[in-house]
Amino acid sequence: MYIANIDSSMLKAIIESIRTILIKCKELDALCYDTPATTTHLMQCMGFNEYFIRKTWRVFEEINGLRINMYKFHDVEFDLLFEHRKEPVPRLRDSCIPVDDEVCYKKRSECITSPHIHSLYIYLEGKLGRGGYVKINVVRLLRLLQMKDEKLTYELLDVIEKLLTGKGSIRKLYILVLKILLKNRGVLSLILPMVPLDLEGLFKASPFARLIRLHTDV
């Protein structure tokens, strides 16, 4: 299965879900270590109809394990990994927004578990050469960015969402990605053999960026 099997409206729903989760993470002052990007309950509460929700989960069940190669330079490689699960998901009693064990530990009396619902997790999974390995929840990464630069975080989500509706600018997305890389260059340089700082570097290091370039005028 390929990413083309995912309708843009489904990806847009995921972006909207992630934005909602990040707002809740900030409200709870939570780090959101391993929170799903969306769940059945969250999509229901956000107003998506049952046909759309069932269709979305059918697609993500079919493409479970989908990897998108985001970075490859020398022996270091990072993929965007989509994991569909059907599992108990914790949430607060007055909310449809999924939370992780950290939040439930702090708010034990308010935390309940929705039994065996559909959930989607998105990870950035890296092979660091010589057996090195890392797997980080994308919601967690965005939460860290939100704590550092909230405006930039929501601007990134907004640009992606607009692109999915055919109204956005791919060049603006590239600029935002490069801005994030530059802001975090110190930490990233400890992991990546080359941190892209311009478009040429981005296309050199990212197979996915090169793939997008084939279909755009950038």
Decide if 146 contacts 180 (C-beta within 8 A): no
The predicted structure's pLDDT at residue 115? 83
- pLDDT score for 216: 72
Q: Distances in Å between the alpha carbon of 116 and those of 3, 54, 58, 64, 87?
A: 26, 15, 15, 17, 4
Model pLDDT, residue 5: 66
Residue 167: the pLDDT is: 84
- 42 and 139 in contact (C-beta within 8 Å)? no
Mean pLDDT by 10 residues, the chain (218 residues): 72 97 95 95 96 96 94 95 95 92 90 91 93 93 95 96 87 94 91 94 95 75
The pLDDT assigned to 2 comes to 52
Total residue length of the chain: 218
What is the model's pLDDT at position 169?
A: 86
What is the pLDDT, as a whole number, of residue 4? 55
